[in-house]
């Protein structure tokens, strides 16, 4: 199956961003891809660098204007599209939501981001309510897609639960980058950790993993920080963590990669991690933290 990741730099012009995305989808479709993955919140800049109530005006319902446009594009090319949107579910209730458009233009399903960060430059808890749909793969004509979003990528539990529910691919739309004030060494440590943890999810679950990140510098609208330099580096890796394709860290790219879903079956036969899980011994994973236990 041929897949495409569209890594792009965004501006404040939502219409221009979406137009650029649509043209990139067209170019990917010329290469006979069946799946296109877009980066997190792909229609605009990463607005969570600051807390601004006016930003909520950018949220939209699902179905809504953007899903209508992308649905037509999915139908035009007969492809599945994974998009990431700022969802307005109800007044005062908003989510960071991935939506999957089926090749016939219908909405196959949505996933609402479960893990919501609140770190310098990533003030997402101000905007997004944690997801309430759980970790359920979305059934499509090309397979069951385990769609997660950005901060979810650091949590092995999320990837595992998707795999346990029958996901055939792990897919991460994401928006992550460097603090320009960090040293070069620190920046590279962060990027390598981001790549490594997701390759680990691929290995631990025997699944191809597709990661689509944004790229380029985006200023902090509040001028309280040096902004964010998104590190791109979108990639596809196989079920043994093997790197199949990777985008540059400093430029836009369309990464087209052929993957074989049958390979997961082959890998899981020789590395049967699901078989050997000690589900009888994992009950403590339901705890936040295991405080030291005193002998009595």
Give the E-state strand segments of the chain in sequence order: 2-7, 35-38, 80-90, 93-101, 107-112, 118-119, 122-123, 138-140, 143-147, 169-174, 177-178, 208-213, 215-218, 228-231, 235-237, 243-246, 253-258
Active site residues: 40, 113, 150
Q: Is the N-terminal amide bond of 63 cis, ω within 30° of 0?
A: yes
Tokens of 124: 């997402």
Q: In the beta sheet, which residues pair with residue 146? A: 170
Chain centroid to CA 132? 17
Residues 6+ apart with CB under 8 A from 188: none
Cα distance between residue 171 and residue 263, in whole Å = 17
Range 279-283 contact pairs with CB under 8 angstroms and sequence separation of 24 or more: none
- Spell out the alpha helix ranges (H) of 35-171: 65-77, 156-164
Instruction: Tell me the three state secondary structure of residue 222.
Output: coil
Tokens of 198: 């997701």
Residues 6+ apart with CB under 8 A from 207: 146, 159, 163, 167, 168, 169, 170, 201, 239, 264
């Amino acid at each position: 199956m041929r897949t495409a990741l569209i890594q792009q730099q965004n501006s404040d012009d939502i219409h221009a961003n979406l137009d650029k995305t649509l043209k990139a989808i067209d170019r990917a479709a010329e290469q006979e891809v069946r799946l296109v993955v877009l980066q997190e919140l792909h229609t605009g800049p990463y607005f969570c660098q600051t807390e601004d109530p006016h930003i909520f005006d950018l949220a939209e319902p699902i179905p809504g204007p953007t899903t209508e446009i992308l649905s037509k594009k999915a139908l035009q090319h007969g492809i599945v599209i994974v998009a990431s949107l700022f969802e307005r579910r109800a007044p005062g209730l908003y989510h960071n939501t991935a939506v999957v458009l089926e090749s016939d233009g219908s909405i196959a399903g949505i996933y609402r981001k479960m893990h919501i960060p609140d770190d310098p430059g990533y003030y997402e808890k101000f905007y997004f309510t944690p997801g309430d749909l759980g970790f359920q793969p979305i059934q499509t004509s090309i397979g069951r897609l385990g769609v997660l979003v950005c901060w979810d990528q650091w949590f092995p539990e999320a990837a595992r639960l998707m795999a346990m529910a029958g996901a055939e691919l792990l897919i991460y739309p994401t928006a992550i980058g460097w603090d320009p004030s960090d040293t070069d060494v620190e920046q590279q440590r962060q990027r390598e950790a981001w790549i490594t943890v997701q390759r680990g999810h691929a290995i631990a679950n025997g699944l191809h993993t597709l990661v689509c990140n944004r790229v380029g510098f985006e200023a902090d609208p509040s001028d309280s920080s040096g902004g964010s330099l998104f590190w791109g580096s979108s990639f596809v890796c196989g079920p043994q963590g093997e790197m199949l394709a990777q985008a540059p860290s400093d430029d836009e790219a369309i990464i087209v990669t052929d993957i074989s879903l049958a390979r997961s079956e082959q890998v899981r036969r020789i590395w049967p991690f699901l078989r050997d899980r000690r589900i009888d011994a994992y009950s403590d994973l339901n705890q936040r933290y295991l405080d030291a236990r005193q002998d009595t």
